[in-house]
Amino acid sequence: MKIYHNPRCSKSRQTLDIIKKHKKEFEIVDYLKDRLSISELEIIIKKLGITTLGLVRKNELIWKENYKGKNLSDKEIVRAMIENPKIIERPIVVNGEKAILGRPPESVLKIIN
């Protein structure tokens, strides 16, 4: 299991705490420091079962100033997230072929059991 984690995010910390309490083995990926590859991000989006745009934090200033209102392809949105990982919604938990956003943090329970 992997958690794509931002230690400054309260939802991310809460999700991590839930995983720890269930004594599951996991790997922490600090996606702000260790950027994801394009293929890795595309696989995560597919596992989440959401649109590419659904993984974007649309209230982030970077998104508002540079991308909002533009007609972007999925590839362009993925590239924007790779170049600006702060706009990736978090936390993301991947367990095998399943993935979930930890919003709310308790939603992680759906894939850790």
Structure tokens at 70: 């533009």
Residues paired with residue 94 on neighbouring β-strands, in sequence order: 2, 99
Cα–Cα distance list, 42 to 1, 45, 61, 72, 88 (Å): 17, 5, 23, 15, 12
Q: Residue 94: CB partners within 8 Å, gap ≥ 6?
A: 1, 2, 4, 44, 47
Beta-sheet strands, E only, within 1-78: 2-4, 27-29
9 assigned to active site:
yes
Which of 15, 3, 6, 2 lies closest to 107 in space, CA to CA?
15
Which one from 1, 9, 72, 82 is the annotated catalytic residue? 9
Enumerate the active-site residues.
9
